[in-house]
Amino acid sequence: MASDSDIPPGLGDVKAQVYAQGGNEHEWRPFKHTRLYTNAFIIEGNKLLLGFKKRGFGAGLYNGFGGKVEPGETPAQAARRELQEEAGIDAPLEYAGRLFFVVTGVESVFDIRIYVAREYVGVPTESDEMRPRWFALSEDSLYARRLAQSDPQADPPIPGQVAPPVPSVDGDLPDIPYDQMWADDIYWLPHLVRGGCFVGRADFDEGNVMRRYWFGSVPHCKGD
Ligand SMILES: CNc1ncnc2c1ncn2[C@@H]1O[C@H](COP(=O)(O)OP(=O)(O)OP(=O)(O)O)[C@@H](O)[C@H]1O
């Protein structure tokens, strides 16, 4: 377990095992206001559903479906509402982790609850905000960019992987488009796909550049 003092500020009182950390900034940035968000991912067999964000924050990137938690909502309720609004589907979402992002130029800090479901109801449908698209879930696809990195030792394998490796997919779905996703995603998406729970923080500059990051696995998924 990481000692409490290793857990980045913002993640609350959590016990976690660090599995990736780095960046060229050595202090965590101070922050004032946090804002709650959700982000939800649908896995169906060997496929992962992502949405291409058409407008607003993160436009031009693929991501899960999500947004701000509105007053009076729990994060779990907000996650289901956003999935319905942005992708036209409903799903039994389960909590998978918490991510905290400080981004240059954005006044409030992102405190994001991540959810996953392995079944859903409805037909993924394009909305004003998101264009849903399926991607292949295979070992190669999950780790594609990490394997290509010049320093593979920088990010050791994620510990505690209990689920069997993800089998390869037949067919011609595209690989997970990490080069069109937030830079943090590759650090926790493989963990989510394997059913693990995680916490993490990254401090970003504009232009999707991570300056400092820390990701840890947690033994039990606790969240709302
Ligand atoms: C910095 N690194 C990051 N990595 C991965 N995901 C990130 C992220 N930073 C923000 N996100 C997600 O981006 C969406 C923004 O939500 P956003 O569209 O602004 O909210 P909402 O739909 O309420 O907006 P409207 O005000 O209705 O336009 C939301 O899913 C949030 O979890």
SS3 33: coil
SS3 86: helix
Residue 56 CA to ligand 1 centre (angstroms): 8
The β-bridge partners of 213 are 22, 202
118, two tokens: 């392995």
Whether 154 is covered by a domain: the verdict is: yes
Residue 36 CA to ligand 1 centre (angstroms): 10
Mean pLDDT calculated for residue range 114-129: 97
Whether 223 is covered by a domain: the verdict is: no
Whether 224 is covered by a domain: the verdict is: no
51: how many CB neighbours lie within 10 A of its CB?
Answer: 25
pLDDT mean across residues, the chain: 88
Prediction ipTM score: 0.96
pTM value is 0.90
Whether 114 is covered by a domain: the verdict is: yes
94: how many CB neighbours lie within 10 A of its CB?
Answer: 17
Q: What percent of the chain has pLDDT over 70?
A: 85
Tell me: pLDDT of 45 over 90. Answer: yes
Which residue's C-alpha comes closest to atom 1 of ligand 1?
101
Q: How many domains does the chain have?
A: 1
Whether 41 is covered by a domain: the verdict is: yes
Whether 159 is covered by a domain: the verdict is: yes
Whether 56 is covered by a domain: the verdict is: yes
Q: What is the CATH number of the domain that holds 167?
A: 3.90.79.10
DSSP 116-172: EES--EE-----SSEEEEEEE--HHHHHHHHHHSS-GGGSPPPS---SPPPPPPPS-
Domain of residue 35 covers 4-218
